[in-house]
Structure 1
């Protein structure tokens, strides 16, 4: 039997900066709330994606810790 981790409610969004079209930002969110966003811009989509993925992974890890804490309570 294979155990898969539960899905998470977060979304990673990479966007081109509207007023500076050669720069990119990221945002990590879930429905109705913002969790994390880039404090500066990135020169490439890939750089923004990598930074956003790290922020997403940290957000998911914290969410899973809280989920486990609720299950133990």
Structure 2
């Protein structure tokens, strides 16, 4: 079995459609939404950092389990 080197996740940060001066983030798995932020953030960087933190957890689980966590 070949070792996997690239995880299937990506981050999407965009303006909140309900409150345009706030930002929301999502984690995509192979281009399909997997997790959405439960809250909005005041800045793009805050939303990106929150998504990166969750992404680190998902990648760790992905590496540990050898498959995508459900």
TM > 0.5 between the two?
yes
More helix by share: 1
Aligned-pair Cα RMSD in Å: 1.8
Runs of 4 or more consecutive aligned structure 1 residues displaced over 4 Å after TM superposition: none
**Alignment size in residue pairs:** 64
| Aligned partners of 1:14 and 1:27 also within 8 Å | yes
| Aligned partners of 1:24 and 1:44 also within 8 Å | yes
**Any gaps of 5 or more consecutive residues in structure 1?**
69-73
Equivalent in the alignment of 2:13: 14
Greater gyration radius? 1
**Any gaps of 5 or more consecutive residues in structure 2?**
none
Q: Secondary structure at the match of 1:49?
A: helix
Equivalent in the alignment of 1:34: 33
